[in-house]
Amino acid sequence: MTPGNNGASTPEDDDPFGYLYADGQANGAQPPSGGYGYPNSVNRVRAVGTRQYGQQPQASQTAPYGQVPQQSAPGRPNAHYAAPETLPGGAPTAQQQVPGGGGGGRGGRGPNTKGLLIGAIAVVAAVVIGIGVAMLGGEKDKDEPDNQANPGPTQSQASKPSPSSSKSGESKVDLPKIDAKALRLGGGASLAQDVKGAQSDGGIYVGNLNQVGSSVTWTVNGIPKDGAYTVFARYSTVDEDQEMTLTVNGKPFGSKLNMGNFTHTSDGDFTKGWTKTYAWPTLNKGTNTITVSCQDGDKCNVLLDQLWLKAGQVKD
């Protein structure tokens, strides 16, 4: 007995794959035909390239191993086999191309990268905006005062000066103002109203002050406290600048009271020369006397209209 040949009804005959080996074929092993749980369709071999799409396959005959099975009569389907295209809604007979692109083969268009890029940018922008809004909300909450019922002053309120303060830091109070006719006159000073433009009651002013010894005196009551004040004088002059002596509480103040020709009137018309000047004397609380006089060396060609006071050292 040769190796691998143990006679009939040996394991070679029971081997379902014995037909694959040479010694099995020598012992008559045959491919399975419906045995071992395989359908008959497993041995229906079709030569490469013989099947045509769109045609009904012909029924095949069982043939010995290694031979092409016989085709059934044309138009008669194999009772044991049905190609996918013969089933209801069978497989497509040609590759379909998706309109508008995308997809598989070389002939198809690639993915819509432009749309994807725009979508990604939109998502990033939405995230950035959301983060910015959240951060701004946090800053606002942090800056809000804890006590909403009693918030602090606004910027405009904080930057506004207090109505009770002046440029020099003194408290503003209602200080007196006096017309010329209420002043006490001295020397050759007299009242007049020929020249228009005086703002005192009735347009009355003090004239004839250009003589040495002429003067006006104002007794001021109600000064709230000691300190610096500004005394203003409204007057008219023409041609040359003038200057007179200012006396406060019996003492000359400064060098001279400047009464310049600030309107630059040069035709002698006093109606065009009305202007004002000021000085910064120190006054005492209560009552003070202020005198404007023409002394030796002064230039006193002026018409005096009014005197008034302001707290602190101001120019207006």
Mean pLDDT score, 62-75:
50
Q: What value does the mean pLDDT of the chain take?
A: 73
Q: Count of residues for the chain? A: 316
Mean pLDDT score, 206-226:
96
Lowest pLDDT segment from 108-112, 117-121, 156-160, 296-300? 156-160
- Residue 117: Cβ within 10 Å count: 10
- Residue 294: Cβ within 10 Å count: 26
Q: What is the pTM of this model?
A: 0.48
Q: Is 180's pLDDT higher than 70?
A: yes
Distance between CA atoms of 30 and 12, rounded to whole angstroms?
A: 11
- Residue 54: Cβ within 10 Å count: 7
Better-scored residue on pLDDT, 120 or 99: 120
Q: Where do runs of H (alpha helix) occur along the chain?
A: 11-14, 22-26, 113-143, 155-159
Better-scored residue on pLDDT, 165 or 215: 215
At residue 125 the predicted structure's pLDDT band, cuts being 50, 70 and 90, is confident
Structure confidence at residue 5 (pLDDT): 52
Listing DSSP states for 73-123 in one string gives PTT---TT---GGGSTT---SS----TTS-SSSTTS----HHHHHHHHHHH
* pLDDT one-digit tens code per residue, 141-174: 544 444 333 333 333 333 333 333 344 444 456 7
Q: Is 99's pLDDT higher than 50?
A: no
Structure confidence at residue 48 (pLDDT): 55
Structure confidence at residue 300 (pLDDT): 96
Percent of the chain residues topping a pLDDT of 70: 53
Strand partners, 192: 205
* pLDDT one-digit tens code per residue, 3-59: 445 555 555 455 666 666 666 667 666 666 554 444 444 445 555 555 555 555 444
Structure confidence at residue 33 (pLDDT): 57
Better-scored residue on pLDDT, 161 or 135: 135
Q: Is 202 left (phi over 0), alpha (psi -120 to 50) or beta?
A: left
Q: Is 220's pLDDT higher than 80?
A: yes
Better-scored residue on pLDDT, 84 or 261: 261
* pLDDT one-digit tens code per residue, 234-259: 999 999 999 999 999 999 998 899 99
Q: Is 186's pLDDT higher than 80?
A: yes
Do the strands 274-279 and 257-259 form a parallel or antiparallel pair, or are they unpaired? unpaired
Q: Is 71's pLDDT higher than 80?
A: no
Nearest to 227 by CA among 281, 300, 282: 282
The residues near 63 (Cβ < 8 Å, ≥ 6 apart) are 69, 70
Mean pLDDT score, 88-100:
48
At residue 136 the predicted structure's pLDDT band, cuts being 50, 70 and 90, is confident
Listing DSSP states for 175-204 in one string gives --EEEGGGSEEETT-EEE--STT--SGGG-
Lowest pLDDT segment from 1-10, 161-170, 182-191, 208-217? 161-170
Residue 235, burial from CB neighbour count under 10 angstroms (0-12, 13-18, 19+) = buried
